[in-house]
Chain A
Amino acid sequence: MTTRIDARFAKLATENRAALVTFVMGGDPDIPTSLDIVKALPKAGADVIEIGMPFTDPMADGPSIQAAGLRALNAGMTLKKTLQLVADFRRSDDETPVVLMGYYNPIYVMGVEKFLDAAKAAGVDGLIVVDLPPEEDDELCLPALKAGLNFIRLATPTTNDKRLPSVLTNTSGFVYYVSLTGVTGAAIPDYSKVGASVARIKGHTALPVAVGFGVKTADAARTIGAQADGVVVGTAIVDALKNSLGPDNRATAKTVEAVAALVRELSAGVRSARKAAAE
């Protein structure tokens, strides 16, 4: 089964460039603005869109994404409304892959089967659920694969060669390599090691490998884009959004453009990566 994610990475491989994978929190800073932002992402150069499903207790996230989740929850965001956001986006874009990213509890409480049906109907292509390691594959991973959704797994510096095969077994779409041990938005990693890490993972899988955590600038995106199949940017985008907000964290006329402007810069970085590397 080919998903929009598979198609997109295949197309970019023929163009010899990495994918720009952008993360925004669903419902941040409010639901209508969030939809406008998601709609603006492909035009600004995002190749894959990750939409965060807000959760009260995001244990693997740093302060920026924690705050984004709280803004969304305060704006009335729920898992149902996040799925509706994807459905609304799909009315005007049937090509850009959408990945939902978050934690298991809201999905478990909705019911796995009900969630997968709704996600499929809304036009979701893949899932990243941070607190479901391969040891818990029966919970959501296997049912999601059966439903035709990609289940994208994180591989980390602590995922050694012995463990890597079990992490990759039921992974599909792409592998998300977390370039540092830490929470989202933490310190800038040592980029020189990224190429070797990507090569290590590619030794075990034919899937594309996207790299994230700590990528904040067009320069960083260019460096990573030369070494990996995808560059994931989250915290920097969430911060650009936050910095555009008015009093009480309300959206302003500048909010959508603030996000789009950063994504355009990052996209230029990713698109020039292989050229720069070839010179």
Chain B
Amino acid sequence: MNQQTPNSFRTGPDDHGRFGLFGGRFVAETLMPLILDLEKAYEAAKIDPAFHAEIAHLHTHYVGRPSPLYLAERMTERLGGAKIYFKRDELNHTGAHKINNVLGQILLARRMGKKRIIAETGAGQHGVATATACAKYGLECVVYMGAVDVERQKPNVFRMKMLGATVVPVQSGARTLKDAMNEALRDWVTNVENTFYCIGTAAGPHPYPAMVRDFQSIIGKEVREQIMAAEGRLPDSLVACIGGGSNAIGLFHPFLDDASVAIYGVEAAGHGLDVDNGHAASLAGGKPGVLHGNRTYLLMDDDGQILEGHSISAGLDYPGIGPEHAWLRDMGRVKYLSATDKEALDAFQLCSKLEGIIPALEPAHALAKVIELAPTLPKDHVMVMNMCGRGDKDIFAVAEHLGGM
């Protein structure tokens, strides 16, 4: 795209919630006043030291932050190139990066006096994180989850129920994440008075993409400090997987203005980018459109009807992507790659055996590209990958794909 390079990649969105062409507030009138209220509440919280102190306290004592930055020695040795670090966000309480965002939003909901929390979930990690925070603060929690995902992520469904949440299996559409989000929006439009919608990724109407990014940016901020301590300099590259893109934007955002840092996002290529409706790579195979409150790259047909997409990973199986990623791609600041189901499964196994870390299928996609990139790079190249979730939830699904173990 013919846009000028801005002085900073970190100033978005603008007053209209836009990152260039992308983002915005494409919602029904019923929700518009709520979104404006939310924006106001978030702007106030953002400049309130007490809000940040509360989050910091929870990070230390509840989540277990900072998460370690771990040198993956055997992986590095095996690949024979770049020095590979994992940012261990899979060690967070609840097993993924999702809790970073949820705690921020739940504290905000409390400030706004909302007593009922709704959320959508794909792999179930965001649903579990939301159910966890709601349990901690005594809030009612309703989680919408596609019926297909309920089936393939059973352990997380059970966890949510244990935590006191109501899990609603969504039967409409393809019965996955996109449909769960539709249903959550329908709930919100119905229960406007008392309900806070805790969106799980850096997408949706403004201010969600910016707010979720801010809450997830703790990942990148910690990496900056940790890599300085470990290596005495910034990393040469960053790699993260992308569904909606919240773990990725959280890692990337603090580094966007460091031109020496190469940044790679990894989408889910499912059965392959050349397989019709067989992948979930919205940047590689989609075009700009409007869904779920924002303009972004979407998988759709020529009539603008949204396609279902496919990925082995329920967390990446979404036909859109956060609007800031859409913009960063068009600006050329971040390079977006993709990994197939098979590549992710191979990476999943390799990491388990070499490092004793069972990754979630989502970061296994990022790892697949680390495995591809690292051997082509010199040994003094420092690469940081976000290990954004643990694979406990995936072991049965993986076993099935591998034909039993």
Chain B interface size, as a band, is: 35 or more
One digit per residue, 1 when the CB lies within 8 angstroms of any chain B CB and 0 when it does not, for chain A 100-133 equals: 0001111111100000000000000000001111
Pick out which of these stretches binds chain A: B109-117, B285-293, B329-337.
B285-293
A160: interface (CB < 8 Å) = yes
What A residues does B179 contact at CB under 8 A? 57
The smallest beta-carbon distance between A18 and chain B, in angstroms, is: 22
Give residues 60-110 of A contacting B (CB, 8 Å): 60-63, 66, 73, 78-80, 103-110
B400: interface (CB < 8 Å) = no
Say which residue of B26, B190, B289 sits within 8 Å of A136 (CB atoms): B26
Q: How far is the CA of A158 from the CA of B191 in the complex (A)?
A: 11
B30: interface (CB < 8 Å) = yes
Tally of A-B Cβ pairs under 8 angstroms:
119
Tell whether A57 pairs with B304 under 8 Å between CB atoms, given A131-B293, A133-B27, A156-B30. Answer: no
What A residues does B172 contact at CB under 8 A? 63, 66
| CB-based contact B306/A57 at 8 Å | yes
Chain A interface size, as a band, is: 35 or more
Q: Which residue of A lies closest to B32 (CB)?
A: A133
Give residues 164-183 of B contacting A (CB, 8 Å): 172-173, 178-179, 182
What B residues does A66 contact at CB under 8 A? 172
Q: Which residue of B lies closest to A160 (CB)?
A: B33
Say which residue of A58, A135, A160 sits within 8 Å of B25 (CB atoms): A135
Q: How far is the CA of A130 from the CA of B287 in the complex (A)?
A: 22
What B residues does A163 contact at CB under 8 A? 32-33
A66, A108, A181: residue with the most chain B Cβ atoms closer than 10 Å: A181
What B residues does A186 contact at CB under 8 A? 190
| CB-based contact B28/A154 at 8 Å | yes
Q: Which residue of A lies closest to B308 (CB)?
A: A56
The smallest beta-carbon distance between A147 and chain B, in angstroms, is: 20
| CB-based contact A110/B304 at 8 Å | yes
| CB-based contact A135/B32 at 8 Å | yes
Q: How far is the CA of A80 from the CA of B304 in the complex (A)?
A: 11
Tell whether A154 pairs with B29 under 8 Å between CB atoms, given A106-B304, A109-B303, A131-B293. Answer: yes
| CB-based contact A105/B306 at 8 Å | yes
Q: Which residue of A lies closest to B307 (CB)?
A: A56
The smallest beta-carbon distance between B241 and chain A, in angstroms, is: 24
State the main secondary structure of chain B at its contact with A. Answer: mixed
| CB-based contact A133/B192 at 8 Å | no
A261: interface (CB < 8 Å) = no
Tell whether A183 pairs with B189 under 8 Å between CB atoms, given A57-B291, A131-B290, A133-B27. Answer: yes
What A residues does B26 contact at CB under 8 A? 104, 131-133, 136
B27, B192, B295, B305: residue with the most chain A Cβ atoms closer than 10 Å: B305
| CB-based contact A59/B304 at 8 Å | no
The smallest beta-carbon distance between B226 and chain A, in angstroms, is: 40
Q: How far is the CA of A131 from the CA of B28 in the complex (A)?
A: 5
Q: How far is the CA of A159 from the CA of B36 in the complex (A)?
A: 12
Say which residue of B29, B182, B191 sits within 8 Å of A156 (CB atoms): B29
B34: interface (CB < 8 Å) = yes
B24: interface (CB < 8 Å) = yes
Q: How far is the CA of A159 from the CA of B295 in the complex (A)?
A: 24
What B residues does A39 contact at CB under 8 A? none
The smallest beta-carbon distance between B307 and chain A, in angstroms, is: 8
Q: Which residue of B lies closest to A166 (CB)?
A: B32
| CB-based contact A183/B190 at 8 Å | yes
Give residues 21-64 of B contacting A (CB, 8 Å): 24-34
| CB-based contact A182/B16 at 8 Å | no
| CB-based contact A108/B28 at 8 Å | no
B231: interface (CB < 8 Å) = no
What A residues does B191 contact at CB under 8 A? 181
What A residues does B30 contact at CB under 8 A? 60, 154, 156-158, 178, 181-182
What B residues does A110 contact at CB under 8 A? 304
Q: How far is the CA of A136 from the CA of B192 in the complex (A)?
A: 21
Say which residue of B186, B298, B305 sits within 8 Å of A183 (CB atoms): B186
The smallest beta-carbon distance between B260 and chain A, in angstroms, is: 38
A55: interface (CB < 8 Å) = yes
A167: interface (CB < 8 Å) = yes
- B interface residues (Cβ-Cβ under 8 A, vs A): 16, 24-34, 172-173, 178-179, 182, 185-186, 189-193, 287-293, 295, 298, 300, 302-306
> Can you list 8 A-B pairs, Cβ within 8 angstroms, ordered by A?
A57-B291, A63-B172, A79-B303, A105-B289, A107-B304, A135-B32, A181-B193, A183-B186
- A interface residues (Cβ-Cβ under 8 A, vs B): 55-63, 66, 73, 78-80, 103-110, 130-136, 153-160, 163, 167, 178, 181-183, 186
Name 15 extra pairs, CB < 8 A, besides A78-B303, A178-B30. Answer: A55-B304, A55-B305, A60-B30, A60-B189, A80-B303, A105-B289, A109-B303, A133-B29, A135-B24, A135-B32, A136-B24, A154-B29, A156-B30, A159-B33, A178-B29
